[in-house]
């Protein structure tokens, strides 16, 4: 006997919106087979049934408030206006949802699409009546029902920042396409990682959040070292399915800040199960790109990219104003505070200061007025001088080249120690992931592909072990300098990256996607998510699906 689901007031609200009747669900029979080893977590080589996107930017500037609309349109565009997945929009006020529908429809009308096609696309947009919240990746994880292949939403019980009924609200919104609510994920903490959240039984800081649970080919779970065994047992099945990685050195502590699996289309005859690539954050690749003769002269932070829409000027500050408060200015200011008024300052560091303070090179600064010591008080006045420095940095940061920034970083032992220790940790984990995946997919050995994603980090310094090697702190307070490109979203055959603000990084990512017969797209997320120490993957959630295996084997 079929069970009847009681309609809640929230679900009745959904029925009042036209798209609830016209929603087009995926053809599950055309999807790849579901995993056969008991794991219910899918990797990103599986197709997406629904996208959930936040309409709550971390800092609600005008530019940030436009990100949700752009994200929705990028989904539609990257699916070529056909077979667009369900787009779940989590907002407290239905009028916000209607405004997003109206702006999306206006974009599509501007494309001169057939009216029926426009309506089919608009019908894929679904209202999720929940309190506005930025981090839609964190509070739940999407698994699958192995019997049906449809998504199962499981709310993380210890996550304190959303309502306890958010999981039901979300599953109600996806009910027409068979999304279900599964049992809550119960908290557990590693014995060797004592943190305050452990005492209060709250997820934030403990590593339990959704962005710390990622699938990998071969039926594996990528999880952080800040997650307990009892937690991963709830969805990974056998312990052999778990690949635990070093993530607790990050302040956010998420796998999705360091690693991401993406599908590829090399078209070289490789088996279907081998059509994937492992993206991994790489400080080494970032510095390599910054110092090359071709790229070195370009600005470290560039504001001419067309993704920064001049019609969407920031509330009370320009993009340069944001740069003035960016971590690169704070980093340079911190060195300057300690060394810039000293005769011991190194040439590479001085070169950056002259660009930031005066907008000129040392060679151009022959005039006596271009003197670092004349700008700041002898004892560096914290109240006056820091404001003066940030204002000048905001004005001139785009005059500092990639080569100059990397030269300054190379002369900073603390910076290099930190990023070298991070690089070592990531390399060790890459080797672990490769070994595990190929143990189950040996036929992929000759095709196994990795992509170094340029990224540089700042934060807590590593410890020096007795043997002189470096150890990253656990838990750490380490974050990305620029918007983190690893924290990206797969949309069909396109990887949508946060716009790093560094055009050589963006160009490199675009070229690498082309090699894999994929596309790269970019979206500006400075205020929307980067300043909150997350990015576009953290502010959204993809719900994948698979084809049930009725034969018992592949």
pLDDT in tens, 204-222: 667 888 989 999 999 999 9
Residue 534 vs residues 405, 478, 485: alpha-carbon distances, Å? 23, 12, 11
% of the chain beyond a pLDDT of 90:
58
Lowest-pLDDT range of 138-142, 180-184, 339-343: 339-343
Q: Are residues 282 and 305 in the same domain?
A: no
Contact 548, 147 (CB under 8 A): yes
- Angle between helix axes 94-110 and 115-122 (nearest 10 degrees) is 150
- pLDDT computed for residue 324 by the predictor: 44
Band of pLDDT at residue 8, cut at 50, 70 and 90: very low
Q: Tell me: the pLDDT tens digits for 401-451?
A: 899 888 888 888 888 999 999 999 999 999 999 999 999 999 999 999 999
- Asked whether residue 538 is domain-assigned, the answer is yes
Q: Regarding predicted confidence, which is higher, 427 or 370?
A: 427
Per-residue pLDDT band for 15 (boundaries 50, 70, 90) equals very low
Asked if 220 and 351 sit in the same domain, the reply is no
Domain span at residue 49 reads 31-286+447-544
**535 or 501, higher pLDDT:** 535
Residue 4 lies in a domain: no
SS3 of residue 206 by DSSP = coil
Instruction: Tell whether 426 is covered by a domain.
Output: no
**Whether residue 180 sits in one domain with residue 55:** yes
CB 201 within 8 A of CB 189: no
For residue 61, pLDDT over 50 is answered with: yes
229 and 315 part of one domain: no
349 and 467, same domain (yes or no): no
| Per-residue confidence band for 362, with pLDDT thresholds at 50, 70 and 90 | low
Examine the pLDDT at 14 and tell me if it is beyond 50: no
Q: Is residue 215 part of a domain?
A: yes
Cα–Cα distances in angstroms (integers) from residue 322 to residues 9, 278, 299, 314, 491, in the given order = 43, 32, 16, 9, 29
| Domain tally, the chain | 2
What pLDDT is attached to residue 7? 37
CA angle 266, 269, 275 (to 5 degrees): 50
Q: Are residues 478 and 539 in the same domain?
A: yes
pTM of the complete model beyond 0.75: yes
* 334 and 275 belong to one structural domain: no
* Highest mean pLDDT: which range of 84-93, 320-329, 357-366: 84-93
Instruction: Determine the Cα–Cα distance for residues 360 and 340; give it in Å rounded to an integer.
Output: 16
274 vs 162: CA distance, rounded Å: 38
What's residue 305's pLDDT?
53
**Which pLDDT does position 304 carry in this prediction?**
62
pLDDT band at residue 36, thresholds of 50, 70 and 90?
confident
In tens, the pLDDT along 121-159 reads 999 999 999 999 999 999 999 999 999 999 999 999 989
User: Are 270 and 324 contained in the same domain?
Assistant: no
Judge whether 291 lies within some domain.
Answer: no
Predicted local confidence at residue 470, as pLDDT: 87
Q: What is the pLDDT of residue 70?
A: 95
pLDDT category, 310, cuts 50, 70, 90?
A: very low
DSSP bridge partners of 50: 86, 543
Q: Which of 92-101, 251-260, 356-365 bottoms out in mean pLDDT, i.e. has the lowest?
A: 356-365
Q: Are 298 and 503 in contact (CB under 8 A)?
A: yes
End of a domain among 400, 428, 459? 400
Judgement on whether residues 133 and 190 belong to the same structural domain of the protein: yes
Interval 150-173 mean pLDDT: 95
Mean pLDDT, to the nearest integer, of 479-494? 94
Higher pLDDT among residues 256 and 300, named by residue: 256
Mean pLDDT computed over every residue of the chain: 84
Q: Are residues 461 and 540 in the same domain?
A: yes
Q: Are residues 124 and 268 in the same domain?
A: yes
Query: Once rounded to an integer, what is the mean pLDDT over residues 6-10?
Result: 41
Residue 495 domain flag: yes
**CATH number for position 109:** 3.75.10.10
Residue 518 lies in a domain: yes
Residue 430 lies in a domain: no
pLDDT band at 321 (very low <50, low <70, confident <90, very high): very low
Task: Look at residue 165 in the predicted model and tell me its pLDDT.
Answer: 96
Residues 329 and 241 placed together within one structural domain of the fold: no
SS3 485: coil
Domain boundary among 373, 400, 427: 400
- Give me the pLDDT at residue 92, please: 94
For residue 392, name the pLDDT band (cuts at 50, 70, 90).
confident
Distances (CA, A) of 497 to 11, 55, 253, 306, 488: 34, 18, 20, 15, 5
Residue ending a domain, choose from 400, 428, 458: 400
pLDDT at 196 over 70: no
Distance CA 513, CA 414 (A): 33
pLDDT of 301 > 90? The answer is: no
According to the model, what pLDDT value does residue 464 have? 86
């Amino acid at each position: 006997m079929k069970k009847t689901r009681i309609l809640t007031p929230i679900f009745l609200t959904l029925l009042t919106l036209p798209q609830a009747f016209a929603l087009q669900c995926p053809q599950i029979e055309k999807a790849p087979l579901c995993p056969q080893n008991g794991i219910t977590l899918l990797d990103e080589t599986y197709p997406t049934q629904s996208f959930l996107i936040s309409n709550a930017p971390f800092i609600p500037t005008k530019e940030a408030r436009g990100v949700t609309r752009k994200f929705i349109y990028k989904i539609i565009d990257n699916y070529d206006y056909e077979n667009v997945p369900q787009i779940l929009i989590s907002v407290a006020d239905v009028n916000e949802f209607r405004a997003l529908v109206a702006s999306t429809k206006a974009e599509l009308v501007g494309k001169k699409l057939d009216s029926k096609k426009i309506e089919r696309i608009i019908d894929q947009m679904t209202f999720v009546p929940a309190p506005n919240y930025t981090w839609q990746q964190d509070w739940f994880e999407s698994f699958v029902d192995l019997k049906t292949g449809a998504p199962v939403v499981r709310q993380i019980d210890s996550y304190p920042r959303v309502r306890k009924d958010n999981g039901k609200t979300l599953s109600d919104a996806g009910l027409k396409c068979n999304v279900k609510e599964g049992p809550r994920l119960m908290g557990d903490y590693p014995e060797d990682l004592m943190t305050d959240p452990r005492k209060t039984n709250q997820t934030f800081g403990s590593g339990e959040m959704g962005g710390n649970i990622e699938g990998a080919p071969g039926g594996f779970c990528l999880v952080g070292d800040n997650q307990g065994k009892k937690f991963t047992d709830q969805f990974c099945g056998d312990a052999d399915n778990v690949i635990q990685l070093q993530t607790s050195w990050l302040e956010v502590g998420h796998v999705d800040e360091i690693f991401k699996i993406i599908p590829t289309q090399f078209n070289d005859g490789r088996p279907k199960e081998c059509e994937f690539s492992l993206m991994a954050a790489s400080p080494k690749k970032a510095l390599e790109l910054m110092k090359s003769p071709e790229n070195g002269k370009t600005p470290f932070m560039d504001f001419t990219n067309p993704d920064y829409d001049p019609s969407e000027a920031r509330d009370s500050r320009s993009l340069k104003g944001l740069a003035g408060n960016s971590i690169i200015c704070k980093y340079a200011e911190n060195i300057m505070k300690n060394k810039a008024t000293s005769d011991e300052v190194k040439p590479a560091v001085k070169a950056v200061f002259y660009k930031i303070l005066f907008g000129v090179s040392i060679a151009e600064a022959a005039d006596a007025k271009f003197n670092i010591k004349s700008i700041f008080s002898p004892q560096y006045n914290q109240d006056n001088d820091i404001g003066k420095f940030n204002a000048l940095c905001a004005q001139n940061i785009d005059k500092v080249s990639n080569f100059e920034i990397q030269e300054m970083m190379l002369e900073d032992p603390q910076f290099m120690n930190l990023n070298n220790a991070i690089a070592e940790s990531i390399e060790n984990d890459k080797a672990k992931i490769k070994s595990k995946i190929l143990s189950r997919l040996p036929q992929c050995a000759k095709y196994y592909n990795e992509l170094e994603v340029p990224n540089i980090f700042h934060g807590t310094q590593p410890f020096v072990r007795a043997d002189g090697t470096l150890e990253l702190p656990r838990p750490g307070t380490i974050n990305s300098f620029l918007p983190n490109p690893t924290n990206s979203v797969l949309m069909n055959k396109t990887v949508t990256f946060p716009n790093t603000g560094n055009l050589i990084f963006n160009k490199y990512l675009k070229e690498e996607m082309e090699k894999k017969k994929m596309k790269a797209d970019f979206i500006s997320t400075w205020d929307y998510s980067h300043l909150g120490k997350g990015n576009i993957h953290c502010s959204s959630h993809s719900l994948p699906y698979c084809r049930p295996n009725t034969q018992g084997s592949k």
